[in-house]
Amino acid sequence: MSLIVQKYGGTSVGSTERIKNVARRVAKWKAAGHDVVVVVSAMSGETNRLIALAKEIQPHPDPRELDVVASTGEQVTIGLLCMALMEIGQKARSYTGGQVKVLTDNAYTKARITDIDDNGIRRDLANGYVVVVAGFQGVDAEGNITTLGRGGSDTSGVAFAAALKAEECQIYTDVDGVYTTDPRIEPDAQRLKTITFEEMLEMASLGSKVLQIRSVEFAGKYKVRLRVLSSLTPPDLPVAQEATSGTLITFEEDSDMEQALVAGVAFNRDEAKITILGVPDRPGIAYQILDPIALANIEVDVIVQNIGRDGMTDFSFTTHRNDLKKTLDILQNVCRHIGAREVLGDDRICKVGLVGVGMRSHVGVASKMFRALAEEGINIQMISTSEIKITVVIDEKYMELAVRVLHKTFDLDQPQRP
């Protein structure tokens, strides 16, 4: 008998009918001899509704009280799912994050898990119960309710799988796995049967929305096998068939075959580029520019500094589009302080990237990528590379074309190997 953690997102529990289907699926795994812990999100749209209510009362809600409000969505789901399980004859018990207890730091609205008390869960499992836990939430050392940030239920699921040493953490969502790119942009995108944690982390960092990036980091750190599956398939699908479906996210060393050159093409349109012109070319200038940005809790990504000429240089970086105005406001003061000439912002750019562990052992990937873009007249504004990723910043209007061209250039439209 193995222990499985299943996590269901908001779409998967978006109605009472879907909750009943989840119950049937969970009971099926239990009947097949597995211990099952279920982690659930709030019903689709519920967290947004709760936050909107809070903002009607207080335009900038107090973080502690906002967590109290936002955490109630999952409490509804765990109760309803347990009722649905009981209705079909399966013993079940629900727990909020505080009841379990999921201990976090006290960073309200974006807390991080520090410990999980799994004694009660193990006791219930031994007594034949399915345990249903609220994702997205916990408590700090003083007992205050905390939440893990948007998408935090994925992280909850992985954390429970790590604490319980589960055989697998199954993430059920409204897609049936991880694809070589977004099928809405490239209809010939192929579902990946396996992908490494490193590749999934890079895909997530480039905007792939299948998994929340913190959950992938957590899974990689604690060696938790993840499988992405669809909750929209028939709930009575045989366990043996479901257990090998979807996409398995695993470790590079687990594969006994040569890795594919490129696993996928990822992209992110929520980007902005900031360029500071006429920057004095002297030691410490990058720190003087980026430190105020970091202190404002603004993340930066692709960074390019031009070669200095006549004692001056230009400095560019990307950030999230929502942070553009705040970043420009900060840099106006920075420019005056360091003696730079001008700061410019562009919110009409995007990032497109190739990801694949096979890049480690192959040459010529970058030149092949750049040639394919050049043949379509797509100008590259910035480039960033790692061992397994090449990212380019381009004009947003070329994003879909770039994705399709690169997908075909690297033969990602071909059926995946068995």
Same domain, 44 and 152: yes
Same domain, 26 and 141: yes
Which among 232, 253, 274 is the end of a domain? 253
Contact 50, 69 (CB under 8 A): yes
Residue 258: what pLDDT?
A: 53
Residue 276 lies in a domain: yes
The residue whose two tokens read 């429970």 is 160
Same domain, 275 and 225: no
What are residue 169's phi and psi, to 5 degrees?
-110, 115
Residue 332 lies in a domain: yes
Same domain, 245 and 136: yes
Residue 160: what pLDDT?
A: 96
- Which residues partner with 8 through β-bridges? 40, 172
Same domain, 134 and 239: yes
The residue whose two tokens read 């071909």 is 414
Residue 24: what pLDDT?
A: 97
What are residue 375's phi and psi, to 5 degrees?
-65, -20
Residue 416: what pLDDT?
A: 64
Residue 283 lies in a domain: yes
Residue 164 lies in a domain: yes
Same domain, 141 and 273: no
Residue 353 lies in a domain: yes
Same domain, 288 and 157: no
Residue 192 lies in a domain: no
What single-letter DSSP state applies at residue 151?
Answer: T
Give the pairing of strands 342-355 and 264-280: antiparallel
CB neighbour class for 70 (10 Å; exposed up to 12, middle 13-18, buried from 19) = buried
Residue 251: what pLDDT?
A: 78
Q: Can you give the pLDDT of all 418 residues of the chain as single tens digits? A: 699 999 999 999 999 999 999 999 999 999 999 999 999 999 999 999 999 999 999 999 999 999 999 999 999 999 999 999 999 999 999 999 999 999 999 999 989 999 999 999 999 999 999 999 999 999 999 999 999 987 789 999 999 999 999 999 999 988 889 999 999 999 999 999 999 988 988 888 776 777 878 888 888 888 899 999 999 899 999 999 999 999 999 876 555 445 668 999 999 998 999 999 999 999 999 999 999 999 998 989 999 988 877 889 999 999 999 999 999 999 999 999 999 999 999 999 999 999 998 888 788 899 999 999 999 999 999 999 888 999 999 999 999 999 999 999 999 988 765 4
Which among 253, 276, 309 is the end of a domain? 253
CA–CA separation, 195 vs 192, rounded Å? 7
Residue 417: what pLDDT?
A: 53
Same domain, 242 and 311: no
CA–CA separation, 47 vs 32, rounded Å? 34
Residue 257: what pLDDT?
A: 46
CATH of the domain at 151: 3.40.1160.10
Query: Furthest-apart CA pair in the chain: how many Å?
Result: 79
CA–CA separation, 173 vs 9, rounded Å? 6
Same domain, 15 and 38: yes
Show the domain range for 125. Answer: 3-175+210-253
What are residue 45's phi and psi, to 5 degrees?
85, -10
CATH of the domain at 378: 3.30.2130.10
Residue 214 lies in a domain: yes
Same domain, 299 and 168: no
Residue 319: what pLDDT?
A: 94
Contact 264, 191 (CB under 8 A): no
Nearest to 77 by CA among 40, 51, 44, 47: 40
Which among 224, 253, 282 is the end of a domain? 253
Same domain, 284 and 234: no
Residue 162: what pLDDT?
A: 94
Same domain, 246 and 309: no
For the chain, the domain total comes to: 2
Residue 202: what pLDDT?
A: 87
